[in-house]
Structure 1
Amino acid sequence: MEKGRDIQCVPAEMLARLKALAERLWADNNPSSVHLTALLEEFEPDMKALGQIVKEYETEFSSRLSSKEGEFTRKEERLKEKIQTLNSRLSALESEHASGAKKTEELKKAFKDTEVHLGEVRAGAMETEREMNLKYVSKMQELYDRVNKKEQEMLSDWEEKNRTLENRLQALDGDHAERMRQLKFREKALGEDARARKAELIRTFDRIREDLDARERSVAARERALAYWKKTGSGETGKGEQ
């Protein structure tokens, strides 16, 4: 595809003179005529006269103008229809506005009446709330007094029980101390008795051991005497038999 060229208006006289020059050069056997003729043939399709360009422009402009006029006419008709529709809607809205204004006045009156009633209700509610607050304060004070009284009674009972418990603890401590003193005294007495019994047992054991030793010595002496007697008695018996 050939690249498009910029088209400019070329005077017809200039084109004719260039063609005449090319013919003279050709007649003179000038090689430049070939080059000039080739250029004229190459660019001749793109060369247009001023009148032709103006006619083409007028034709295109007329076509575009007709198209725009038709488009404008259609747009104007649509706008007229839209204006008519809007006028109809405006009339309806004005009628509705008149009716709405009446309703607005009625609503304003009802709103004012409601505000008055609401003010009365609020005043009654505030009075009721004040009475309830007074009753609440009275009940709370009564409850506080009862709780405080109960707390004082419980505190007195606790203090009394605490004193009783402390007295019992003191009595138990005294009894415990007395028992410990008696136990220590008894322990001391038992220790002394045990030591005395032990000493007596040792003395008894020593006496028994001494007695046993004496008996053993006596038995040993008797045995020696018996042995001696047997020995001496046997000798005397033999002599008599002879």
Structure 2
Amino acid sequence: MQKATEVMHKSPRLLGAGVHTAGPGKDYPLHAHTSWELVYYVHGRITCPVGDETYDATPGTVLLTPPNTWHAEQSRTGYANRFLLVDASSNHPWPRRCYDDTDHTLRRVFDAVVRETDSDELRAILLAELDLRLRRAATPPPSPAEQLVAQAEQLFEERFAEHPRIADIAVDLGISPSGLRAAFARVRRTSPQAALQAVRPRHALAHIRNSTLPLQAIADLTGYHSVSHLSRHIKSTTGTPPGTHRAALG
């Protein structure tokens, strides 16, 4: 009976949640918790000794540290994370490291848990969703090229309105521009520049179709220089001007 109970594992219970930010060189010293610590890295590059392993974390990386395991964060660029302290069995079936998908599913759940301070019931529901997604993430990890592309795509989503350069994205990911291009060619059959250029019109179209914001406001939000710039880009992408996509709103 005891063995069967151990296999089932106890349901995770949230003990605490928060946000941590640090500048370049501002390391978090070696420490351990009596609970699990689940950390989602939002931006920056960090080296993380965890027990006998050392991980490099970039945006979209999730590190899951079991109870009573010594770990630290060595800041290489400055960074921010979301962290959860969770009471669960020491052998709970979570991976030690996983990566978010291109829809930022794990970040959405981490953010929701951190923001929810009024309802213990809602936090429990969100933690149950996170538990399920992390269990699924225990499947064989993506290849290094797939990880790199997913991390680059997340940076595209975060910075597209700032007109980032692929060279700067590559630097933040710790790889050469040619290495990033090779990864995109292998995984997406396209270039990182083409993938980045597709992000801005997609966000602009979402605003056009689902809001009543004036085109100037949409241009400002999505990094276009003017309404005419926005209109030209939407027409070249879809074949029709912005007004065509807004007609359904009445």
* Interval of TM-score (by shorter of Structure 1 and Structure 2): under 0.3
Bigger helix share: 1
Higher relative contact order structure (alpha carbons within 8 Å, sequence separation ≥ 6):
2
| Greater Rg over alpha carbons, structure | 1
Bigger strand share: 2
User: So what's the TM-score if we normalise by structure 2?
Assistant: 0.16
User: So what's the TM-score if we normalise by structure 1?
Assistant: 0.16
